[in-house]
Chains A and B, each alone.
Chain A
C-alpha cells in the first residue's frame, strides 16, 4: 500500500504537523512574553539542570520552540524538524515523568507558569510525543515531502 496515495493518512499527517507546530509556536510565544527568569524558575524547579545553564536555556528554548513550530507548520526540512521535535518532546516528557514519579509538586512550565504536573499534563505531552514520533517515522520513510 502506498501511504502517500492515501488521502486520509495525508490529512492526518497534515493535522499532526499543524497542531504540533501551533503548540510549539504558542508555547514559545507565551514564554517570550515574560522576562526569561520566569521560565528559568520553571526549569530550575525540576532540579535537573545546574543553575549556570538555566539562563542560556531559558533565553533560547522559547525561540527554538517558535522556530521548530514554524518549520513544522510550513513543512520545511520536515525530516530534521520532525526528528528534532520528537527528541525535544521526549526530553520534556522524561523530565515531567521524573518529577511526577518523584512526587515533585511543581509546575510543568510548558505554557508559562501556573500549570502543575499531573496525569493530564503527562497524557497531553505523551499524546504529542506519540504524534510526533509517528510524524517522524513517516517523514523518515518517505521518499519525498509529505502532506
Chain B
C-alpha cells in the first residue's frame, strides 16, 4: 500500500514531463542521470526489506525529483521454489499495467507463499477477475518467459552473486551494490555520483 502511494506520488509529479514514467517494472524518468537496476527475487527476505524500506526512500529522494531511473529486474534464485512463478506472474501483470499491485502483494505475502505456494491466489486477490484472466493467459506468453530469462542472463553478466543486488550506472560506469545497504551510505554514494559532471 505504501509503495502504491509512493508510486502514485511519483506518477503525479512526473506526469507533466514524460509519458514513460511508470511502465511495468520501471520507475522514473528514463533519461535520469543515474540508472539503478535492482536484481530481485520475490521469495528473498532481503528483497522484501529493500522493497519495503530502501526502495521507498530512493523513490522519494531520487526518482520523484527525476535524478534516478529504476528498473526492477527479475532474478529468481534456484533455491526459492516459488521465486520463478512469482516472477512470471509479476512480469505478466506488468503487461497489463498491474506490476506494482502484484509486486506489492507478492512481497507482502512472501512468508505465506513460502508456506502454501499459492502464488496465483495472492495475485488474484489484488486483481479484478478480468485482469486475473488476462494475467493467467499471459503466463505462457513467450515474451514473458523471454523477459525473465533476459534479466537472469543480464544478472549473470553483472555478475549478481545474491539478491537483492543494485547495478548502479552513471556516466557510462557501473558499480555493484549488494545488500545489506545502509540508506545514509547509499544516499552519500548517489549524491557523490550526481555531483560529478
Contacts and interface: CB of A to CB of B under 8 A. Distances in A.
Interface of A: 34-38, 40-41, 44-45, 47, 51, 54-55, 105-107, 112-116
B189 A37 contact: yes
B181 A41 contact: yes
A55 B189 CA distance: 11
B177 interface: yes
Given A37-B192, A107-B161, A114-B178, 19 more contacts: A37-B188, A38-B177, A38-B189, A40-B188, A40-B189, A41-B181, A41-B182, A44-B180, A44-B182, A45-B179, A45-B180, A47-B180, A51-B182, A113-B177, A113-B178, A114-B158, A114-B161, A114-B176, A115-B161
Given A51-B182, A116-B161, A41 B189 contact: yes
Interface of B is mostly: mixed
B193 A35 contact: yes
B185 A37 contact: yes
B158 to A, nearest CB: 7
A71 to B, nearest CB: 29
A36 B192 CA distance: 9
Interface of A is mostly: mixed
Find the residue from A34, A37, A105, A115 having the highest chain B CB count within 10 A.
A37
Given A37-B186, A41-B186, A116 B177 contact: no
Contacts of B181: 41
B97 interface: no
28 contacts: A35-B189, A35-B192, A35-B193, A36-B188, A36-B192, A37-B185, A37-B188, A37-B192, A38-B175, A38-B177, A38-B189, A40-B185, A40-B189, A41-B177, A41-B181, A41-B185, A44-B182, A44-B185, A45-B178, A51-B182, A51-B184, A54-B182, A105-B162, A113-B178, A114-B158, A114-B161, A114-B176, A116-B161
Contacts of B184: 51
Contacts of A51: 182, 184
Interface string B140-177: 00000000000000000011011000000000000111
Contacts of B182: 41, 44, 51, 54
Contact of B188 (A35, A47, A113, A116): A35
Nearest to A40: B185
